[in-house]
């Protein structure tokens, strides 16, 4: 996404939030609900500190499974088979090394057999899963019980499922510049279905859910079409439109407006300073993944003095994919902490094939995944150290063939014309609304009154 379009979206979302809030939040708040009788032992069990601990553990299990989805689904691979194995030595990872968080810490992030390092991202995603499960448990189960209401155990699981889907979207988009259809489209359908059969769980009726889902998709698809027609470049991807369809189905018009507005503002606050400093937000460069499509505009130039990174444009040797060529030019120390799943990208599961020719196919021997084949969630890391040979010498400068004649390589890049992945910012904003919905709705209502 172009940062310039973020400014437009932030303005539009502010107006949309006002209109949606007047319709959905403008009524006078109802009085406190009457206490609900909950038979024992449920209050004692659910209010026990151990319940919160178990909620966190439950989240780490599914956070580990999310690591599998992040790696395998964009490549069209099964999330069940084959089992976990070290990508460096190929050794199968034992079940006692598949314990989320704990195994990573005990093994110090390395394979037990060959001592090759795993990416710390796997620990991060597992911890995020645990924290999101804990937060949604407190909001949906603990707080209502303390207030004298009924515990929303089903609501906890539904909110956690949405949060986990958003985590998957964030990390896939950062790695591959795609948002997998296999995640967002089924979740959008589930959101609309829940609004039809159980609107009390989502807090919105089905017309609001369906309208927000269709409206979110249509807004971004329309902006993309307009930019292509007027400027000849793609300002937004259709993956972002599908992500908004999922968010709108689950949160309604107010949540959709918050997601767009907060995502655009937060994106500007993070992206512009990083681009000015010559830093990359994504783990790969857009053109390396999707090819040199004229609709994407020219490749970005690296600022003078900026160190080479995976985001720099690197010419792909004959017979290799652009992403693999980028990884080959990355220093070994950087590759040790980068996930292997940036090579041999296939976007077949995302619905949007990479531009610039036929999509690269997954390797016949893909890196191992951070999950056990038979045990489901609770998998161990799959990423190991990349081979140390084949690295480009440190004093070799990255090619600057993309610079136009007469351009000074030390000039500041055109920040407002540089693509940044918008999906992660939309995902973070959606997480904020799911976790802080009551507070954000109250702020919007106070703002309007």
Average pLDDT over every residue of 312-340: 34
Assessment of whether the complete model's pTM goes beyond 0.75: no
The residues that bridge with 372 in the sheet, in sequence order, are 376
What is the residue whose two structure tokens read 């155990």? 153
Residue 272 lies inside a defined structural domain of this protein? yes
Question: 200 pLDDT exceeds 50?
Answer: yes
What is the chain's length? 449
For 68-125, the pLDDT digits (tens) are 899 889 888 888 888 777 778 878 888 888 899 999 999 888 888 888 888 899 899 9
| 217 domain-assigned | yes
Q: Across the chain, what does the average pLDDT equal?
A: 72
Which of residues 258 and 337 earns the better pLDDT score? 258
Question: Is 431 domain-assigned?
Answer: yes
Q: How confident is the model at residue 53 (pLDDT cuts 50, 70, 90)?
A: very high
* Number of domains, the chain: 1
pLDDT of residue 141: 93
- pLDDT at site 288: 67
38 has pLDDT over 60: yes
In this predicted structure, what is the pLDDT of residue 277?
Answer: 83
Q: What is the pLDDT of residue 335?
A: 34
pLDDT of residue 300: 59
Contact at 8 Å (CB) between 114 and 94? Answer: no
**Residue 183 pLDDT more than 70?**
yes
Is the residue at 339 inside a domain? no
227 occurs within a structural domain: yes
How confident is residue 349, by pLDDT bands cut at 50, 70 and 90? very low
Cα separation, 434 vs 369, in Å, equals 29
Q: Which residue has the higher pLDDT, 357 or 222?
A: 222
Residue 272 CA to residue 270 CA, distance in Å, equals 6
> pLDDT at residue 140 above 90?
yes
pLDDT > 90 in the chain, percent: 34
Instruction: Give the Cα separation of 238 and 178 in Å (integer).
Output: 9
Q: What is the mean pLDDT of residues 247-253?
A: 95
Give the pLDDT of residue 390.
Answer: 40
Question: What are residue 92's DSSP bridge partners?
Answer: 85
Residue 16 contacts residue 260 (beta carbons within 8 Å): yes
Task: Say whether pLDDT at 134 is over 60.
Answer: yes
Q: What is the mean pLDDT of residues 160-177?
A: 94
pLDDT at 198 over 70: yes
| More confident call, 48 vs 357 | 48
Q: What is the pLDDT of residue 416?
A: 57
pLDDT, mean of residues 337-363: 37
Task: Round to whole Å and give the CA distance between 352 and 77.
Answer: 16
Pair 339, 383: CB distance under 8 Å: yes
Please report the pLDDT score of residue 273 as a whole number.
87
Q: Is residue 16 part of a domain?
A: yes
**Domain membership flag for residue 426:** yes
Q: How much is the pLDDT for 301?
A: 57
Instruction: Give mean pLDDT, residues 286-309.
Output: 56
Return the pLDDT at 353.
39
The pLDDT assigned to 22 comes to 47
Mean pLDDT of 19-28: 45
Do residues 371 and 65 make contact, with C-beta atoms less than 8 angstroms apart?
yes
SS3 for the chain, per residue?
CCHHHHHHHHHHHHHHHHHHHHHHCCCCCCCCCCCCCCCCCHHHHHCCHHHHHHHHHHHHHHHHHHHHHHHHHHHCCCCCCCCCECCCCCCECCHHHCCCCHHHHHCCCECCCCCCECCCHHHHHHHHHHHHHHHHHHHHHHHHHHCCCCCCHHHHHHHHHHHHHHHHHHHHHHHHCCCCHHHHHHHHHHHHHHHHHCHHHHCCCHHHHHHHHHHHHHHHHHHHHHHHHHCCCCCCCHHHHHHHHHHHHHHHHHHHHHHHHHHHHHHHHHHHHHHHCCCCCCCCCHHHHHCCCHHHCCCCCCCCCCCCCCCCCCCCCCCCCHHHHHHHCCCHHHHCCCCHHHCCCCCCCCCCCCCCCCCCCCCCCCCCCCCECCCECCCCCCCCCCCCCCCCCCCCCCCCCCCCCCCCCCCCCCHHHCCCCCHHHHHHHHHHHHHCHHHHHHHHHHHHC
Q: Are 299 and 37 in contact (CB under 8 A)?
A: no
CA-to-CA distance for 339 and 121, rounded, in angstroms? 8
Report which of residues 347 and 138 the model is more confident about. Answer: 138
250 assigned to some structural domain: yes
**Between 406 and 127, the higher pLDDT residue:** 127
Kindly give, in sequence order, each residue whose CB lies less than 8 Å from that of residue 159, ignoring residues fewer than 6 positions away: 136, 139, 140, 434
Confidence (pLDDT) at 404: 41
**Dist CA 304 CA 398 (whole Å):** 11
Mean pLDDT, residues 29-49 taken together: 75
Pairwise CA distance, residues 77 & 83, whole Å: 12
**pLDDT in the model for residue 384:** 38
In the block, tokens 């599914």 appear at 62
373 has a pLDDT exceeding 70? no
Domain that holds residue 232: 1-31+203-281+419-449
| Residues 124/130, Cβ–Cβ less than 8 Å | no
Which one has a higher pLDDT value, 300 or 384? 300
pLDDT at 77: 86
Question: In this predicted model, which residue has the larger pLDDT, 58 or 7?
Answer: 58
Percent of the chain exceeding pLDDT 70 equals 63
CA distance 425 to 276: 18
What number is the average pLDDT over the span 267-282? 84
- At residue 253, the pLDDT reads 93
pLDDT at 415: 56
């Amino acid at each position: 996404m172009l940062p310039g379009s973020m400014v437009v979206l932030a303005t539009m979302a502010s107006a949309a939030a006002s209109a949606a809030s007047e319709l959905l939040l403008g009524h006078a708040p109802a009085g406190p609900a009457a206490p609900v009788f909950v038979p024992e032992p449920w209050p004692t069990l659910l209010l026990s500190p151990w319940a919160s601990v178990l909620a966190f553990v439950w989240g780490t299990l599914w956070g580990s499974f999310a690591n599998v989805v992040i790696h395998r689904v964009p490549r069209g691979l099964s999330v069940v088979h084959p089992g976990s194995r070290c990508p460096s030595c190929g050794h199968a990872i034992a079940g006692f090394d598949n314990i989320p968080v704990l195994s990573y810490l005990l093994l110090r992030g390395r394979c037990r057999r060959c001592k090759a390092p795993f990416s710390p991202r796997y620990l991060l995603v597992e911890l995020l899963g645990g924290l999101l499960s804990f937060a949604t448990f407190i909001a949906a189960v603990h707080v209502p019980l303390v207030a004298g209401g009924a515990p929303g155990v089903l609501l906890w699981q539904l909110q956690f499922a949405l949060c986990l889907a958003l985590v998957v979207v964030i990390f896939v988009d950062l790695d591959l510049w795609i948002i997998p259809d296999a995640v967002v489209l089924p979740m959008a359908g589930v959101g609309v279905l829940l609004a039809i059969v159980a609107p009390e769980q989502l807090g919105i009726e089905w017309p609001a859910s369906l309208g927000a889902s269709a409206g979110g998709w249509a807004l971004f698809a329309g902006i993309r079409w307009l930019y292509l027609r007027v400027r000849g470049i793609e300002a937004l991807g259709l993956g972002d439109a599908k992500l908004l369809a999922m968010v709108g189905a689950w949160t309604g018009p107010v949540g959709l407006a918050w997601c767009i507005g907060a995502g655009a503002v937060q994106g500007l606050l993070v992206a512009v300073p990083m681009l000015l400093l010559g830093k990359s937000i994504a783990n790969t460069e857009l053109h390396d993944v999707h090819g040199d499509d004229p609709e994407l505009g020219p490749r970005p130039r690296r600022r003078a003095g900026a160190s080479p990174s995976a985001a720099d444009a690197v010419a792909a040797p004959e017979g290799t994919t652009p992403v693999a060529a980028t990884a080959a030019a990355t220093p070994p120390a950087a590759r040790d902490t980068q996930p292997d799943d940036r090579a041999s990208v296939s976007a077949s599961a995302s619905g949007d094939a990479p531009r610039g020719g036929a999509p690269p196919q997954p390797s016949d021997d893909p890196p191992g995944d951070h999950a056990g084949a038979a045990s489901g969630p609770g998998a161990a890391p799959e990423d190991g150290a990349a081979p140390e040979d084949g690295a480009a010498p440190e004093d070799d400068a990255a090619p600057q063939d993309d610079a136009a004649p007469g351009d000074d390589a030390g000039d500041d890049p055109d920040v407002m014309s540089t693509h940044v992945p918008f999906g992660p910012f939309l995902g973070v904003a959606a997480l904020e609304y799911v976790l802080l919905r009551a507070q954000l709705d109250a702020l919007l209502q106070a703002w309007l009154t």
